[in-house]
């Protein structure tokens, strides 16, 4: 059995190389071949030597895969127990990685949706409650009373106009105080993103794992 210690940083770098080496070793390997019984050589190599080469090709792939699996397992176990602190919150490295690669995407999706709906609602309110509503109110009361002049009760005219505006105005229905939620979420996402890479890099550089295979 092989036992070896290394930092997580070194392990992650080697994992990238090992995957390529395994693919290459598999693509180049010959594990079995049809051969005429009377042939003494295969591709110019004595049969016995060629058999050894085939066995060696298989052993090489298996050894590389065993090393890769041992390193990957050690990294996964380390990530599950090693702690990092990001924006004042403690996570395991595994949690921080998932936050970075997956959960932040969900938070950003939520942020985009809230901002889109808030901006759209504000645009509708601004449009419907502006000059357009004032004109509709004027048209409505003029249709009822005619032009505002001394013949018409000014108080009734204004009250009717104001009632129309109140009834036709658009309001923002916002039980969760969405703009406050947007501000909090924006800050949370920004702060996490600004700290997570450095925290993980430091952890990977100082955390040592042991591999056995």
**Among 163, 12, 199, 7, residue whose Cα is nearest residue 88:** 199
64: which 2 tokens?
Answer: 């590389």
Range with the lowest mean pLDDT among 17-26, 66-75, 121-130, 200-209? 121-130
Is the pLDDT reported for residue 88 higher than 70?
A: yes
DSSP state of 40: S
Strand, helix or coil for residue 44: coil
Residues 208 and 3: beta-carbon distance below 8 Å: no
Residue 168 has what pLDDT?
85
Please tell me the predicted confidence (pLDDT) of residue 155: 78
Distance CA 39, CA 37 (A): 6
Task: Tell me the residue ranges of DSSP E strands in 60-101.
Answer: 83-86, 89-92
């Amino acid at each position: 059995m092989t036992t070896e210690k290394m930092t997580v940083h070194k392990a992650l770098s080697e994992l990238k190389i090992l995957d390529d080496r395994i693919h290459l070793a598999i693509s180049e390997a010959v594990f079995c071949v049809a051969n005429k019984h009377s042939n003494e050589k295969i591709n110019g190599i004595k049969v016995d030597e060629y058999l050894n080469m085939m066995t060696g090709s298989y052993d090489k792939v298996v050894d590389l895969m065993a090393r890769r699996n041992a390193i990957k397992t050690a990294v996964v176990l380390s990530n599950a127990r090693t702690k990092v602190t990001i924006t004042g919150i403690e996570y395991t490295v595994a949690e921080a990685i998932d936050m970075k690669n997956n959960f932040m995407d969900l938070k950003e999706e939520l942020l985009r949706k809230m901002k889109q709906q808030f901006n759209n609602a504000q645009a509708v309110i601004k449009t419907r409650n502006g000059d357009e509503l004032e004109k509709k109110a004027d048209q409505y009361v003029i249709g009822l009373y005619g032009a505002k002049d001394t013949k018409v009760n000014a108080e009734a005219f204004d009250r009717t106009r104001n009632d129309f505006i109140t009834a036709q105005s658009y309001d923002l229905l916002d039980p969760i105080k969405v703009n406050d939620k947007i501000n909090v979420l924006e800050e949370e996402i920004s702060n996490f993103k600004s700290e997570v890479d450095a925290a993980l890099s430091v952890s990977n550089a100082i955390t040592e794992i042991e591999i056995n295979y």
